[in-house]
């Protein structure tokens, strides 16, 4: 686990950003799953921040105690708000999970680049991971473009791809993701991938939609006496498979 010191105090934890320039592809779901993983599988303190000015989905998960960070002022991006975010990342202990909206994807990433924020985090001993969703269907091209932008402007191998098959398989002209030029050109920036498979929509699909709609964590669904036994069993299967995949990544 990465650690650093601020004001003489030892800080521990990694920083995980959920970033993608396309909306509605599962960024907030990824952020919630990461928070659940670190809480329930790794048993480490988690600090969750929702910076999406339009769809405040992440902050609706009450169990995760997500803090809101307002990035808009009078309809425009407040660049100083990014300073406040960096201050928290550099002075507070815990593993951070930050969900960013599609509308602030470019401003936030430009801020990180212009201010060499990634270098500052590295010099301070904190490890930054960027989680990027790739989804099938009509959003495939846009999500691939978002991935390319992140990869081509990053110097580190710190990107985790989340392969979301809910809207369709991730393929183009018969090629799987790892066969596509955009992936091959940027593979050196990727540390691994997590697959969110498309399952039977009448069982697994409906179960997941139910807990997501209610803004419950998987563990809350598993523990809920109000859900049928087999629904809770399927949620256990989903949780175990996702957590096992995350265990396979080289987080510090």
Does residue 205 lie in a domain region? no
Does residue 102 lie in a domain region? yes
CATH number, domain containing residue 158: 3.40.50.300
Does residue 101 lie in a domain region? yes
- Tens of pLDDT along the chain (252 residues) come to 555 454 444 456 799 999 999 998 999 999 999 999 999 999 999 999 999 988 889 999 999 999 999 887 777 778 888 999 999 999 998 999 999 988 889 889 999 999 999 899 988 888 999 999 999 889 999 999 999 999 999 888 899 999 998 888 899 888 999 999 999 999 999 999 999 988 877 778 889 889 999 999 999 999 999 999 999 999 999 999 999 999 999 776
Q: Which of 83, 8, 17 is nearest to 47 (CA)?
A: 17
Q: Which of 3, 54, 56 is nearest to 31 (CA)?
A: 56
pTM value is 0.92
Alpha-carbon torsion 222, 228, 229, 231, what sign? negative
User: How far, in Å, CA of 58 to CA of 189, rounded?
Assistant: 26
Structural domains of the chain, count: 1
**In which domain, by residue range, is 124 found?**
3-199
Does residue 207 lie in a domain region? no
Does residue 120 lie in a domain region? yes
């Amino acid at each position: 686990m990465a650690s650093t010191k601020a004001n003489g105090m030892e800080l521990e934890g990694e920083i995980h950003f959920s970033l993608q320039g396309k909306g509605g592809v599962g960024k907030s779901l990824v952020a919630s799953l990461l928070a659940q993983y670190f809480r329930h599988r790794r048993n480490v303190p988690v600090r969750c921040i929702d910076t999406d000015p339009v769809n405040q989905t992440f902050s609706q998960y009450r169990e995760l105690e997500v803090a809101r960070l307002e990035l808009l002022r009078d309809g425009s991006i407040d660049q100083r708000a990014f300073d406040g975010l960096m201050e928290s990342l550099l002075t507070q202990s815990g593993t951070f999970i930050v969900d960013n909206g599609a509308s602030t994807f470019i401003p936030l990433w430009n801020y990180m680049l212009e201010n060499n924020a990634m270098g500052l985090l590295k010099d301070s001993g904190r490890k930054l991971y960027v989680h990027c969703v790739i989804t099938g269907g009509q959003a495939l091209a846009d999500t691939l473009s978002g991935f390319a932008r992140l990869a081509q402007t990053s110097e580190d191998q710190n990107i985790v791809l989340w392969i979301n098959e809910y809207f369709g398989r991730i393929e183009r002209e018969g090629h799987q993701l790892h066969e596509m030029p955009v992936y091959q050109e940027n593979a050196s920036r990727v540390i691994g991938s997590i697959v969110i498979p498309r399952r039977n929509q009448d069982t697994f699909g409906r179960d997941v939609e139910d807990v997501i709609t209610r803004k419950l964590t998987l563990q809350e669904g598993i523990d809920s006496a109000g859900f049928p036994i087999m629904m809770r069993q399927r949620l256990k299967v989903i949780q175990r498979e996702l957590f096992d995949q995350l265990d396979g990544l080289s987080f510090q």
